[in-house]
Amino acid sequence: MASADTKKALFICLGNICRSPIAEGVFIKTVKDSGQADKWEIDSAALGSWHVGNHPDYRALDVMKSHHVQYSNRARQIKENDFHHYDFIFGMDEENMRELKRRSPKNSKAQLLMLGDFDPEGDRIIRDPYYDDDSHGFEKCYQQSTRCCKVFLEKHS
Ligand code: 4NP
């Protein structure tokens, strides 16, 4: 249930079918597993419009399933109001961050953060695995997201 002290996090990538759904699913699970589900509103979205309405890429779904991360959302595109609604908007790489900054309205409330900056192993860039011909990049995205979401949540609990 949303209340005045609900914290809001939005995960962004280019297409919202590979990296940001994994990061969103992982953060939802991390928050639930730490008993804080009622304190967070969590979503993900795309910078581009190509995949709006689609399920995640099957490789993202497979990786989430293999780690018991439930996921049923479909892709949507980021909109101006997201910058006023969310407290934290996460990009996956430097290109995402540049584009988020470019689209951010002057009076935006959201802190724009690169998810990889929370990685205790210092692997800062969550690389786009969409054009890969296997699923290793998706598993890597899951592992990075898991480490980063844990550290971020510890800092904001
Ligand atoms: P994502 O991956 O940004 O991690 O969802 C991509 C998915 C689709 C495309 C690019 C990146 N695309 O160009 O269609």
How would DSSP label each residue in 15-51?
SSSSHHHHHHHHHHHHHHHTT-GGGEEEEEEESSSTT
Q: What tokens were used for 74? A: 């479909």
Mean pLDDT on 64-91: 98
19-31 pLDDT tens trace = 999 999 999 999 9
The pLDDT of residue 129: 98
pLDDT band at 2 (very low <50, low <70, confident <90, very high): low
Atom 10 of ligand 1, residue of closest alpha carbon: 15
Residue whose C-alpha is closest to residue 51's, from 31, 67, 73: 73
Pick the catalytic residue: 13, 141, 148, 149? 13
Residue 134 CB partners (closer than 8 Å, separation 6+):
none
Fold of 7-155: Rossmann fold (3.40.50)
Q: Is 13 a catalytic residue?
A: yes
88-109 pLDDT tens trace = 999 999 999 999 999 999 999 9
Distance, in Å, from the CA atom of 138 to the CA atom of 24, rounded to the nearest integer, reads 14
Q: Is 102 a catalytic residue?
A: no
Mean pLDDT on 64-69: 98
Give the residue extent of every domain in the chain.
7-155
Pocket test for ligand 1, best of 11, 12, 13 (most atoms within 8 A of CB): 13
Q: What is the DSSP letter of 115?
A: G
| 13 φ, ψ (degrees, to nearest 5) | -150, -170
